[in-house]
Amino acid sequence: MSEIIRLESIVKSFNIGKPNELEILHDISFSVGKGEFVAIVGPSGSGKSTLMNLIGVLDRPTSGKYYLDDIDIIRASDNELSAIRNKKIGFVFQTYNLISRNNAIRNVELPMLYAGMSYNERHERAMKLMEMVEMTDRVNHMPEELSGGQQQRVAIARAMANDPSIILADEPTGALDSKTGSVVMNLFHKLNKEQNKTIVLITHSKELAAGADRIVPLIDGRIAS
């Protein structure tokens, strides 16, 4: 299995050079193979969100090396990082992050609009993705007209818009009841098995993590052995 994510001796500090300087991540090294389902598990305050922001190239490490699909992230320009976020990574957040003034189908189309896809092309793909998450009867609904589980399914369809190789899911069932949460988790497993998507799940729940191929335990900003 070839690697798609490789972190080497990653350190992340905030307020560098100030009296309140704080090192959140200490010497983080691990890799994720193409098509692997990995769960990063840790309690609140363990550094999970900081690590997710680095993996998702939303932030840069203070030191260390990070390769994503053989691209040296440390040396990449802001424009290159923006393109990587748009094309290679699909994000799913606990709070769904749907645009409230757009209906469901337009939310799914948005990343394709930024990628320069024509209206017909993106609309056709968005409809297929809404079919995949079993939401075709809700395409014209606004986010406030959808339940939490329905909003998260739209968010998963949106994450798949530009056919990314990696789906990064941050506490994706955190705001859902257990029954709805299992529907959402089944979707991630389906994407992993049927479309060979690499899934990185960030969670505090050992129960959710149990379904992953591998668990990376994070405690106090370090990977526990």
Q: How far apart are CA 204 and CA 113, in angstroms?
A: 34
Beta carbons of 188 and 199 less than 8 angstroms apart: yes
What is the arrangement of strands in the sheet containing 63-68, beginning at the earlier edge strand?
22-33, 3-14, 63-68, 71-72
Burial status of residue 119 (CB atoms within 10 A of its CB: 0-12, 13-18, 19 or more): exposed
pLDDT at 135 over 90: yes
Q: How far apart are CA 192 and CA 39, in angstroms?
A: 13
Q: What is the mean pLDDT of the chain?
A: 94
User: How far is the first Cα of the chain from the last one, in angstroms, to the nearest whole number?
Assistant: 22
pLDDT of residue 17: 87
List the structure tokens of 171: 């506490």
Q: What is the largest CA-CA distance in the chain?
A: 55
pLDDT confidence band for 1 (50 / 70 / 90): confident
Beta carbons of 24 and 54 less than 8 angstroms apart: no
pLDDT at 114 over 90: no
Q: Which H or E run includes 80?
A: helix 78-87
pLDDT of residue 208: 87
15-49 per-position pLDDT tens digit: 998 999 999 999 999 999 999 999 999 998 899 99
pLDDT of residue 109: 96
**Which segment of 47-61, 147-161, 172-186 scores lowest on mean pLDDT?**
172-186
pLDDT at 84 over 80: yes
